[in-house]
Amino acid sequence: MLRFRDKSFPAGSQLVMAIVNRTADSFYDHGATWDPGRASARVDEVIAQGADILDIGGVKAGPGETIDEAEEIRRTVDFIAAVRDRHPRIVISIDTWRSTVAALALEAGADLINDVWGAHDRGIIEVAARYDAALVCAHTGGLAPRTGPFRVEYDDVVADAITAITGLAETARRTGVATESIIIDPAHDFGKNTWHSLEITRRLAELVDTGWPVLVSVSNKDFLGETLDLPVSERVPATLAATAVCAWQGATIHRVHQVAEVRQVVDFVAAARGDRDPARTVRGLV
């Protein structure tokens, strides 16, 4: 079982996490949901398309304008409270590395802390434990938040990721985060070049074999663009291909921009693996 406070899913689920950026400078949508009304419409749309989790963030992951704690809170916390009021059963994730922001988001109704910076703020683990929230433990190769990789090297990037994030997961468990609420994320592109992210994709089953549920966030990322020499606007087919590869190997959560398309991909992969029945079977029977 995978539990997000009072919401749970059975083991083996394939969950789609929809990205809802409360930023004006996101790398993919360039502020498409910066306006609160458009962000609310995005929430309704992705839930209708089959999203299981909403990932709400107020700071662009990469380098850019400095966003202080107060501004991040302003962008996310009241919005999360409004979404919780309208959608009481959807899982809400706060995308932040700051423990203070995470705590306020959980008080507003969030269920999951998606910390993509590997507990740079160690207080975030204590916050997850205090609020009985779910927590993502990510691998960034030790980078500080909002910094990009530069000539990073690993003897074995998969082994490094496994050591780092299972270590974080065990720390979270010892701190009081429930075992069934801990998720690991190899964090494609974070602290990695394209070769590293391709190897993580190819060997994702090794992370799945740790026994912790795995989140992957490959949506329209640079390793896809560099692999195929494509701009951000043309990476959707590659995103779906990478998603299928990860789903086949057992990834549990897929953080994405294109919810409807990814929902079809992961549901088909689940059926092909024998984990889900087809929705309709009449061919050759009638």
Cα(264)–Cα(267) distance, rounded to whole angstroms? 5
Q: Spell out a b/e string for 155-185, using b for 16 or more CB atoms within 10 Å of the CB, else e.
A: eebbebbbebbbebbeebbeeebbeebbbbb
**pLDDT for residue 210:** 98
pLDDT higher at 123 or 33: 123
Is residue 27 very low, low, confident or very high in pLDDT (cuts 50, 70, 90)?
low
- Measured at the CA of 216, the angle between CA 236 and CA 11, to 5 degrees, comes to 120
Cα(210)–Cα(76) distance, rounded to whole angstroms? 33
Find out whether 87 and 18 touch, Cβ atoms under 8 Å: no
- Which helix (H) or strand (E) segment holds residue 125: the answer is helix 123-130
**pLDDT for residue 63:** 83
Q: What is the pTM of this model?
A: 0.95
What tokens does 107 get? 């008080």
Structural domains of the chain ordered from first start: 2-272 (3.20.20.20)
Q: Does 61 score more than 80 pLDDT?
A: yes
Helices (H), the chain: 36-48, 69-86, 99-108, 123-130, 157-175, 194-202, 204-208, 222-228, 236-248, 259-272
Range in 25-29, 93-97, 162-166 the model is least confident about: 25-29
The 10s digit of each residue's pLDDT in 85-96 is 999 999 999 999
Q: How far is CA 109 from CA 49, 180, 240, in A?
A: 22, 19, 31
